[in-house]
């Protein structure tokens, strides 16, 4: 289903009745809560409104900024949260909480009323109820991942409801409940929704199973995570591969392969679908492509040193930064996904003037621009994102309608591999049916249990594969949290190695105006210093100060925040 068709305003059901019998009669020519739940169209309309809870491109604004792979280029609230330097009253924390419970409230309203549509078949009613269970589970997964124990509310609330001042329920109880709901309800959903079809964008069994595998994985239920992933692997999804290893991975994230319009993309399981070509009142869009290559300002996301060093060499070994001497060389003989994720020199682009004064062709990127003179795209890290850029939309403000992917088959494969390894059940066949399929798409050497990169181990390599394959898709921050690697968030954000930069390809004396940090005898461009991570404090966010004021039963706050 095209999102521009299904996203409509849900009727306002916050209706109050009067004691007068006559006034309690619902008007016959107006939709009210009393006469709304009558037809399949009513159910669809109510279910459609739940889809806005996916947030679209905003999921990248939040979780990429909170991580350390490609955060927002200048200080923002979310980057501050990721860096550990925030207080309990920060607005964005309250925003996460309020938004999630608003979405949960709409799901509860639907689930408490949908059976009133008695003229609609049970299978149809339960199909849309399963969508509501999906969205409610998604928001509770998000809340418990960020805050731990939270109030678990499944009923409609009004000002007189006891649950308005409910205390926090144990995370484990919530996880058990939402996964039970999903396990029971997902079979009412269609197994597979064809890409480029009118229904694409709606929840399928594949999407529900992908969410189940993610929830189980995040909560260390390894066998159940593998089982859910395995079920999703039988739903008809496959890796997007047209036989062009130098571009298929990148094209999955631009117009060439976007699943809402391209029938050959059977990898995207669930995406937030946009369409700018509709009328002014119906069009939907975002601004991601332009933000990544802003032609007259700075690139909004900044790939970091730690991310650049994550991609392996072409022969599957750990990359050594001291092995190269130029900016161009760092892209060579690497995992092919590097060149399809980070913009390499001598590539066509729409960022206009780059940092090389000798480059007379603004349609080709040759060297990073390290100063922001508003004439071309500047980078605060020395790198530009290539992944998710649709070049045809860079020149237009907020007219990008590329799909934003929430679940894709690659994540399901990675969930399966990680869960099997954690459960002590990993075999070479597991790797060949998961990670090595992803590597085959780009022509990368296989991961083999008998020939791991020197100095590494299989768990590290599975996690590396997840970071590389799912780079800039909103996963990194929560992966760091669940892997208990929070110290990575407390490290300085750094960019390009000064030694790799040729002064003759940059504005005169620009390097001397920048801030550098010495690491292992090399100087790296500084993006941000002063970050911190306190264990266990920063493994959970603080409860929002505003919510604790309104509901004292939420206290005590998470460890370290009181």
Give the Å distances, CA to CA, from 548 to 149, 160, 307.
14, 19, 37
CB of 426 within 8 A of CB of 313? no
Those residues whose C-beta lies under 8 Å from the C-beta of residue 306, and which sit 6 or more positions away, are 68, 69, 488, 491, 494
Q: What is the pLDDT along the chain (562 residues), one digit of tens a residue?
A: 444 333 333 333 333 233 334 334 444 445 567 778 999 999 999 999 999 999 899 999 999 999 999 999 999 999 999 999 999 999 999 999 999 999 999 999 999 999 999 999 999 999 999 999 999 999 999 999 999 999 999 999 887 888 899 999 999 999 999 999 999 999 999 999 999 999 999 999 999 999 999 999 999 999 999 999 999 999 999 999 999 999 999 999 999 999 999 999 999 999 999 999 998 889 999 999 999 999 999 999 999 999 999 999 999 999 999 999 999 999 999 999 999 999 999 999 999 999 999 999 999 999 999 999 999 999 999 999 999 999 999 999 999 999 999 999 999 999 999 999 999 999 999 999 999 999 999 999 999 999 999 999 999 999 999 999 999 999 999 999 999 999 999 999 999 999 999 999 999 999 999 999 999 999 999 999 999 999 999 999 999 999 999 999 999 999 999 8
Q: DSSP secondary-structure letter at 257?
A: T
Distance between CA atoms of 420 and 418, rounded to whole angstroms? 5
HEC per residue, 271-323: EECCECCCCCCCCECECHHHHHCCCCCECCECCCHHHHCCCCECCCCCCCHHH
Tokens representing 160 are 């007189």
Write down the residue that tokens 């591969």 correspond to. Answer: 241
Burial class of residue 421, CB neighbours in 10 A (0-12, 13-18, 19+): buried
| HEC-encoded secondary structure of 378-415 | ECCCCCCECCCCCHHHCCCCCCECCCEEEEEHHHHHHH
Report residue 313: phi and psi, to 5°: -75, 170
At 157 the pLDDT is 86
C-alpha distances out from residue 554 to 139, 142, 177, 471, Å: 18, 18, 20, 35
DSSP annotation of 140 reads H
DSSP 8-state symbol, 348: E
**Tell me, what's the pLDDT at 281?**
87
Helix (H) or strand (E) holding 493: strand 493-497
Q: From CA 488, how far away is CA 491, in angstroms rounded? A: 6
**Contact predicate 214/349, CB 8 Å:** no
- For residues 453-484, b (16+ Cβ closer than 10 Å) or e, as one string? beeeeeeebbbbbbbbbbbbbbbbbbbbbeee
Cα–Cα distance between 348 and 303 in angstroms, integer? 19
pLDDT at residue 321, rounded to an integer: 97
- 536: preceding bond cis by omega (within 30 degrees): yes
Distances (CA, A) of 183 to 49, 143, 205, 553: 23, 20, 10, 31
89, 95 contact by CB (below 8 A) = no
> Distance between CA atoms of 389 and 394, rounded to whole angstroms?
8
Q: How many other C-beta atoms are found inside a 10 Å radius of the C-beta of residue 313?
A: 16
Residue 76, judged by CB atoms within 10 A of its CB (0-12, 13-18, 19+), counts as: middle
Whole-structure pTM value: 0.94
In this predicted structure, what is the pLDDT of residue 31? 53
What DSSP string describes 496-542?
A: EEGGG--GGGSSTTGGGGS-EEEETTEEEEEEE------TTGGGSPP
Give the 3-state secondary structure percentages of the chain, helix then strand then coil, rounded to 5. Answer: 40, 10, 50
């Amino acid at each position: 289903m095209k999102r521009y068709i299904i996203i409509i305003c849900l009727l306002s059901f916050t209706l109050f009745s009067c004691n007068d019998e006559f006034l309690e009669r619902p008007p016959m020519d107006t939709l009210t809560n009393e006469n709304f739940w009558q037809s399949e169209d009513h159910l669809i309309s109510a279910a459609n409104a739940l889809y806005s809870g996916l947030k679209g491109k905003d999921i990248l604004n939040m979780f990429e900024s909170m991580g350390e792979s490609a955060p927002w280029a200048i200080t923002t609230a979310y980057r501050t949260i990721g860096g550990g330097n925030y207080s309990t009253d920060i607005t964005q924390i309250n925003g996460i909480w309020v938004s999630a419970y608003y979405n949960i409230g709409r799901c509860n309203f639907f689930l408490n009323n949908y059976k009133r549509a008695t003229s609609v078949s049970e299978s149809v009613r339960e199909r849309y109820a399963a969508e509501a269970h999906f969205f409610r589970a998604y928001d509770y997964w998000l809340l418990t991942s960020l805050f731990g124990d939270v109030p678990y509310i499944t009923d409609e609330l009004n000002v007189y409801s006891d649950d308005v001042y409910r205390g926090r329920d144990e995370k484990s109880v919530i996880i058990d409940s939402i996964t039970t709901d999903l396990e029971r309800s997902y079979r009412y959903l269609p197994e597979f929704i064809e890409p480029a079809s009118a229904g694409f964008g709606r929840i399928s069994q594949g999407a529900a199973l992908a969410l189940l595998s993610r929830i189980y994985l995040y909560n260390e239920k390894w066998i159940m995570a593998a089982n859910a992933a395995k079920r999703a692997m039988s739903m008809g999804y496959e890796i997007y591969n047209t036989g062009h290893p130098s571009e298929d991975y990148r094209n999955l994230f631009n117009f060439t392969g976007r699943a809402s319009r391209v029938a050959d993309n059977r990898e995207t399981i669930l995406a937030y679908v946009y369409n700018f070509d509709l009328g002014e009142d119906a069009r939907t869009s975002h601004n991601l492509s332009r933000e990544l290559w802003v032609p007259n300002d700075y690139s909004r996301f900044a790939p970091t040193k730690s991310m650049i060093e994550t991609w392996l060499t072409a022969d599957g070994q750990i990359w050594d930064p001291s092995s190269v001497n130029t900016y161009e060389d760092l892209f060579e003989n690497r995992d092919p996904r590097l060149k399809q994720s980070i913009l390499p020199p001598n590539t066509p682009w729409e960022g206009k003037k780059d940092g090389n004064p000798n480059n007379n062709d603004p349609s080709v990127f040759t060297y990073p621009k390290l100063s922001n003179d508003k004439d071309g795209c500047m980078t605060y890290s020395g790198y530009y994102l290539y992944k998710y850029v649709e070049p045809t939309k860079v020149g237009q403000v907020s007219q990008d309608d590329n799909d934003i992917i929430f679940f894709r088959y690659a994540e399901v494969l990675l969930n399966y591999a990680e869960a099997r390894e954690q459960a002590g059940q990993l075999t070479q066949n597991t790797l060949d049916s998961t990670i090595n399929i992803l590597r085959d798409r780009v022509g990368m050497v296989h991961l083999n249990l008998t020939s791991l990169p020197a100095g590494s181990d299989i768990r590290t390599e599975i996690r590396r594969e997840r970071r590389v394959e799912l780079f800039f898709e909103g996963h990194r921050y929560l992966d760091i949290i669940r892997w208990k690697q929070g110290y990575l968030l407390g490290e300085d954000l750094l960019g390009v190695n000064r030694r790799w930069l040729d002064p003759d390809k940059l504005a005169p004396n620009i390097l001397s105006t920048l801030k550098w940090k010495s690491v292992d005898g090399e100087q790296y461009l500084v993006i941000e210093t002063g970050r911190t991570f306190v264990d266990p404090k920063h493994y959970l966010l603080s409860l929002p100060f505003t919510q604790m004021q309104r509901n004292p039963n939420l206290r005590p706050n998470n460890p370290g925040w009181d």
